Amino acid sequence: MARKKNVLNDKSRESSCAATSTTVTYKIPLKEEQTFLGHFLEYSLVNGELVIKFATKKPDELPAFRIEHFEEPQQLIFN
């Protein structure tokens, strides 16, 4: 399968990370991609980088956030 073209690659984005003894939290500001962001697909570690994949949504769909990767209920906290 051919790889899709990268339509957004923002290297100047400021992000932050905080860690406690039980959690690690990454905060990444959303920009133009917010209009494309659909539901969570998967995450992976590639060469020391955390890669998080979300499906893209159609322009006429309302924003959706579903976690399909986990069987047990998960707690989500938005700051």
> Tokens 């957004």, residue?
8
> Residue 12: inside a domain, yes or no?
no
> Residue 25: inside a domain, yes or no?
no
The residue range of the domain holding 52 is 35-71
- Rounded to an integer, the average pLDDT of 16-22 is 89
Contact criterion met (CB below 8 Å) for 28 and 54:
no
Q: What is the pLDDT of residues 27-70, one digit of tens each?
A: 888 888 888 888 888 899 999 988 898 888 776 766 555 556 66
**What total number of domains does the chain contain?**
1
Q: What is the pLDDT of residues 1-10, one digit of tens each?
A: 666 666 667 7
> Residue 67: inside a domain, yes or no?
yes
With 60 as the cut, is the pLDDT of residue 22 above it? yes
* Torsion, CA 12, CA 20, CA 78, CA 67, rounded to 10: 90
> Residue 56: inside a domain, yes or no?
yes
The partner residues of 62 in beta bridges, in order of sequence, read: none
